[in-house]
Structure 1
């Protein structure tokens, strides 16, 4: 889909946004949408070549300023390094996008322990760390927005147990901190996206690789930024995402978890 004529007018124009996990999927789409709206960018990710290419492309196409900082958020010291980098640039981060993510699909008991702990580090600890670093300045100046990429619904997800639990954590974290900072003119929103076109879902082949159920990343990004700009607590970028959040509340927990087990069960080898 061509987005060249879809330019949204946000109050963040000419300000700065920090986007983690900006090299692919929702993160890259959010960076593109922000740049198209005239927002300057600091982008982080693990792949230096991609960061450099995306940065150059967005500067050329949209006339913004952009910087990139290679960072691996599985490393506990990375959030502080990102903060130090933006402080060194002398830029004021008006929009913080906690998007970076990992996914490991399979039986927990045979999974890599390192991967399970890495998901907790990236989703939970890095999100808390970055939010704690950038929110105080937003509160002080009574201006700022934080977008946290969470999950559609708080239900068990067999074969994605750590992933789903960590995303549930950040959703509750976002909703709690939101209430704390609202009186200071600062907004925190949780993006409750469903399955999205991304390398994470493509590599994992979740649900048998049902590509027709995957929402385009740019569509998710556009709706996420519109919701963030409007100050919504939870942003559901599609009807499927909204239904996934609402329907489980009215069903027996055992039925929900059993259905999830069948949906997420890894395909048997041929």
Structure 2
């Protein structure tokens, strides 16, 4: 099961897993995109691909997706919690409802899907959960405060589950990509942010699947991203906050989101 499968990193996961012969449950809001993707992957790779459109910001939607999959006789052996979005701008100017939806999708949906999928994995004695966090999890993000906080939650949550379940056959991995070559920054209204070179989504997926095979609790794709991840341990936190603020300070009207 791949959430946020219609674009970006989620789309790259769908293609990579289908190429390895995995049947897929594709989840996103866009039903048309999902149906087209499911047909394409099924025809190209000879797999079963099912599209389940859902808005995971809604309470109970995550559990409902797994129930719908179960009614089709599908139980995910691998769950990839990729769906998420960010808001960018001055915290007080961004709509509160939008920021609460951000928390719901980036955190609550991850918890609900993981909680619903784990029992079947544990009964088989095998399974995997990949949660897409971000290098945003490694330090606070002024002007993207909610996004950074939600990704810190995802990282902490994932590593805790890694320790709980690795002796019971279920692997859990947090993926912390840096800037990735998707529409993320363009749509969020932070295209001008000084985020450096953007990694291909396919590379993020390849690195994460390799880390999963190695039993890692988390992975930060890219040497430069790993080096940046160490900076908060080396420099005063106030210095890190100033650096990040300079990178992300809005240069467009505040309030855009993706």
TM tier, smaller: over 0.9
**Residue 213 of structure 1: SS of its match in structure 2?**
coil
Instruction: Indicate the residue corresponding to 2:256 in structure 1.
Output: none
Please say if residues 193 and 248 of structure 2, whose CA atoms lie closer than 8 Å, have aligned partners that are also in contact. no
- Please list the CA deviations of residues 134-162 of structure 1 after superposition, one character each: whole Å capped at 9, or x if unmatched: 01111121100100011224211011000
Instruction: Indicate the residue corresponding to 1:33 in structure 2.
Output: 16
- Alpha-carbon spacing, 1:256–1:268, altered in 2? closer, same or farther (3 Å): same
Query: How far is the alpha carbon of 1:212 from its aligned partner?
Result: 5.7
Supply the distance in 2 between the matched residues of 1:210 and 1:172 (Cα, whole angstroms): 26
- Alpha-carbon spacing, 1:79–1:47, altered in 2? closer, same or farther (3 Å): same
The reply to whether residue 198 of structure 1 matches residue 198 of structure 2 is no
How large is the Cα RMSD of the aligned pairs?
Answer: 1.4
- Please list the CA deviations of residues 2-47 of structure 1 after superposition, one character each: whole Å capped at 9, or x if unmatched: xxxxxxxxxxxxxxxx000000010010111101111110000001
Query: How far is the alpha carbon of 1:91 from its aligned partner?
Result: 2.0
The reply to whether residue 115 of structure 1 matches residue 94 of structure 2 is no
1:74 to 57, 68, 92: 57
- Please list the CA deviations of residues 84-125 of structure 1 after superposition, one character each: whole Å capped at 9, or x if unmatched: 111111123110000000111111010011110001100111
- Show the 5 A alignment for 1:123-202: 123-152=106-135, 153-202=137-186
- Alpha-carbon spacing, 1:212–1:257, altered in 2? closer, same or farther (3 Å): closer
2:225 to 222, 241, 246: 241
The reply to whether residue 227 of structure 1 matches residue 211 of structure 2 is yes
Supply the distance in 2 between the matched residues of 1:43 and 1:86 (Cα, whole angstroms): 10
Supply the distance in 2 between the matched residues of 1:66 and 1:117 (Cα, whole angstroms): 31
Please say if residues 202 and 209 of structure 1, whose CA atoms lie closer than 8 Å, have aligned partners that are also in contact. no
**Residue 180 of structure 2: SS of its match in structure 1?**
coil
Runs in 1 of length 4+ with deviation above 3 angstroms?
209-212
1:258 to 236, 239, 242: 242
Supply the distance in 2 between the matched residues of 1:85 and 1:196 (Cα, whole angstroms): 31
Instruction: Indicate the residue corresponding to 1:93 in structure 2.
Output: 76
Query: How far is the alpha carbon of 1:199 from its aligned partner?
Result: 2.2
Please say if residues 194 and 248 of structure 2, whose CA atoms lie closer than 8 Å, have aligned partners that are also in contact. no
Query: Which stretch has the larger CA shift, 214-223 or 116-125?
Result: 214-223
Supply the distance in 2 between the matched residues of 1:247 and 1:47 (Cα, whole angstroms): 38
Please say if residues 94 and 144 of structure 1, whose CA atoms lie closer than 8 Å, have aligned partners that are also in contact. yes
- Please list the CA deviations of residues 228-255 of structure 1 after superposition, one character each: whole Å capped at 9, or x if unmatched: 2222111111112212222221111000
Please say if residues 80 and 129 of structure 2, whose CA atoms lie closer than 8 Å, have aligned partners that are also in contact. yes
**Residue 93 of structure 1: SS of its match in structure 2?**
coil
Query: Which stretch has the larger CA shift, 246-255 or 204-213?
Result: 204-213
Instruction: Indicate the residue corresponding to 1:58 in structure 2.
Output: 41
Listed as ranges, the gaps of 5+ residues in structure 1 are 1-17
Task: Report how many aligned residue pairs link the two structures.
Answer: 252
